[in-house]
Structure 1
Amino acid sequence: MGKSEDDSEKSLEERLLDLKKVDIDLDLKYPFDTKKNVYDPDSSLRAWEYYFEMYYEFLSNVEEEDKNLLFEKRFGKKNKFWLSGKAYKRVVGTFCYFENKDYIWPYKLDSCWLKEGKNIGIAGDCTFNFNEKKVSHFWNVIEKDDNKENQQIKEILLLCSSMHHSPFNFSLMPTTGGLNNIKGRNALDRIDVFLNTLKNIYEKIKKNEEIEEINVTKTTGRALIHFLKCIGSFENYCKIFYQLDYEEGNKENLVQKLLDNAEEYKSIENSDQLVKYMELAVEYWEKQKEKYEKVSGTNKNQS
């Protein structure tokens, strides 16, 4: 965890501090968007400002009128954006999708009334979960492990915790059919385990096998499967929703690293396994930061 033999390569702590500085400068991480509502940070008005930049192509067909209604906080079931949740509100957009060549691109926001094969609800998600409950669990893992670097590992964990509601940890995810619940059901809400599950779902789709993970007795479950089919592949899903290219078998590819980690570590039981998971988180955040700096600069130049 210290510096490598190459002095130019930064330590994990230094990389996290660099990310944290940019995160603070963005000033997007707080849930209180209005006096009326308290929002989940990953699905707040501020988060959607970030999504409109980060997912520029993905959301390119959203009309200015719909954006204005969103940021004027004029929500409703008949509007393009609406609120879900009780104590903490989540801004959900409902998208009409269509197939273009090999996969759906782009999406067009439409009415929110679900029609199977037509609409899909999408909201924000924290990609890596380092909330208080998860950090408490990880802290206990460190405490039980006899590792001479435990204090340093705790400091890294606290830095990861501070990135939990960073926009670089935000991603869009389909809510129709409960794909977000599939991710949340694994014990620590691990993104590597979720991606491994999603890859298996796509393999079942290809083979036309039963998909136990999704409740197909409900219209929403069938709509989700239709949507995933229209996405076309696991590779396309990673590209669209996580802005990550997947190169199967390439050990240097981040998606492959995440899949391998999920296969190797069904649970995180010691400090070394936790450090490996945090390294994957930092690599992901760095890629999102790089992408954001690129697209935000491009969008500013176009305006």
Structure 2
Amino acid sequence: MMEESFLTIQKDSDETAWKFYAKFYGEQLNNRHFKIKGKDYNVSGDVCFNIKVKKNNRFTLLSSIIKDDLDSDKMKELNDLLTIFLHSPMNISLLPVTGGLNNIKGQFASDRFDSFLWLLDAYYKGLSAPILNRGTKNSYIGNQKILGNILNEIGSVRNFYSIFYGIDDDGYLDHLINNGKKAIVEPSDYYAYLLEAVRFWTIRLDLLVKKDIFMKNGAVMNDYCLHLQELKDLIINLENF
């Protein structure tokens, strides 16, 4: 079945991921070009909540906050559950390539999804320099101006959130934006961020059912629901430890 094939996604831009994007975005995506207000733009895959406990056997910046708090068994349990969702259909999306918006996200605030949404909201409120003058290697102002045109065509962070993530819940978006401006420096901050990921993945799972990508109460949906509950329970348990 198609929904089971999406369980094999290994990267946000592998062939199976693109099959998922075709199903998720429908007519907006044509031959790997994304249509925004009648114009076609190059896009690439991206992980929304890019959460890993370790990368190349080293703790990430954010997960280093809890490295002294958990024993190896709990750390492995947490990492295994997070890995299930890292490249799952609930956690991948497309972003514009020209101007490197995916790179801007990856290099801003440790690739925090909520901080990225805060940055976009700030852009639409007039803070354009962090995106249009990002100053990374191999950047060209012409490409950044094109990215600015894309964002201006979209018009608002709410439109962006709806177009690329498929979610129209303004209340939750406001919550993410508000959290995105706050630093994560304590274990409680980190666990709260993990719970936000669980909430986002739950919303996206429901959306995939509504789009008939996953069957309601089917094996794939039920497995993901089970793992989401396991992850939520573990995070709450660790938070209260």
Smaller-chain TM-score range?
A: 0.7 to 0.9
Q: Do structure 1's residue 221 and structure 2's residue 144 form an aligned pair?
A: yes
| Cα offset, 1:150, TM superposition | 10
Q: Normalized against structure 2, the TM-score is what? A: 0.73
Q: Does the C-alpha gap of structure 1 residues 129 and 218 become closer, same or farther in structure 2, counting only changes over 3 Å?
A: same
Task: Find the counterpart in structure 1 of residue 207 from structure 2.
Answer: 291
Distance 2:23 2:13 in 1: 15
| Cα offset, 1:282, TM superposition | 0.8
1:260 corresponds to which letter in structure 2? N
Q: Do structure 1's residue 185 and structure 2's residue 107 form an aligned pair?
A: yes
**Could you say what secondary structure the match of 1:125 adopts?**
strand
Distance 1:286 1:294 in 2: 13
| Cα offset, 1:257, TM superposition | 2.0
| Cα offset, 1:26, TM superposition | 4.8
| Cα offset, 1:161, TM superposition | 2.8
Per-residue CA deviation, residues 43-64 of structure 1 (Å, 9 max, x unaligned), is 11101111111112533xx3xx
1:296 corresponds to which letter in structure 2? D
1:28–1:166: 8 Å Cα contact kept in structure 2?
A: yes
Q: Do structure 1's residue 262 and structure 2's residue 180 form an aligned pair?
A: yes
Distance 1:188 1:167 in 2: 22
**Structure 1 segment 130-279 matched on structure 2, within 5 A:** 130-131=51-52, 132-133=54-55, 136-137=59-60, 138-145=62-69, 155-204=77-126, 211-215=129-133, 218-247=141-170, 253-264=171-182, 266=183, 268-279=184-195
| Cα offset, 1:96, TM superposition | 5.3
Q: Which runs of 5+ in 1 are unaligned?
A: 1-23, 32-40, 63-79, 81-92, 98-103, 108-117, 248-252
Per-residue CA deviation, residues 266-301 of structure 1 (Å, 9 max, x unaligned), is 2x22221111111111111111111111212699xx
Q: Do structure 1's residue 94 and structure 2's residue 33 form an aligned pair?
A: yes
1:120–1:224: 8 Å Cα contact kept in structure 2?
A: no
Q: Does the C-alpha gap of structure 1 residues 229 and 139 become closer, same or farther in structure 2, counting only changes over 3 Å?
A: closer
1:228 corresponds to which letter in structure 2? L
C-alpha RMSD over aligned residues = 3.0
2:49 corresponds to which letter in structure 1? F
Task: Find the counterpart in structure 2 of residue 6 from structure 1.
Answer: none
| Cα offset, 1:136, TM superposition | 2.0
| Cα offset, 1:173, TM superposition | 0.7
**Structure 1 segment 95-110 matched on structure 2, within 5 A:** 95=34, 97=36, 104=37
1:139–1:154: 8 Å Cα contact kept in structure 2?
A: no
| Cα offset, 1:163, TM superposition | 1.4
The structure whose RCO (Cα within 8 Å, separation 6+) is larger is 2
Q: Which runs of 5+ in 2 are unaligned?
A: 135-139, 216-241
2:9–2:88: 8 Å Cα contact kept in structure 1?
A: no
Per-residue CA deviation, residues 17-47 of structure 1 (Å, 9 max, x unaligned), is xxxxxxx94543344xxxxxxxxx1111101
Task: Find the counterpart in structure 1 of residue 226 from structure 2.
Answer: none
Q: Does the C-alpha gap of structure 1 residues 220 and 287 become closer, same or farther in structure 2, counting only changes over 3 Å?
A: same
**Could you say what secondary structure the match of 2:208 adopts?**
helix
1:120–1:223: 8 Å Cα contact kept in structure 2?
A: no
| Cα offset, 1:170, TM superposition | 0.5
Distance 2:72 2:132 in 1: 40
**Could you say what secondary structure the match of 2:26 adopts?**
coil
2:49 to 103, 128, 142: 128
2:149 corresponds to which letter in structure 1? H
1:254 corresponds to which letter in structure 2? Y
| Cα offset, 1:139, TM superposition | 4.3
2:51 corresponds to which letter in structure 1? F
Q: Do structure 1's residue 28 and structure 2's residue 7 form an aligned pair?
A: yes
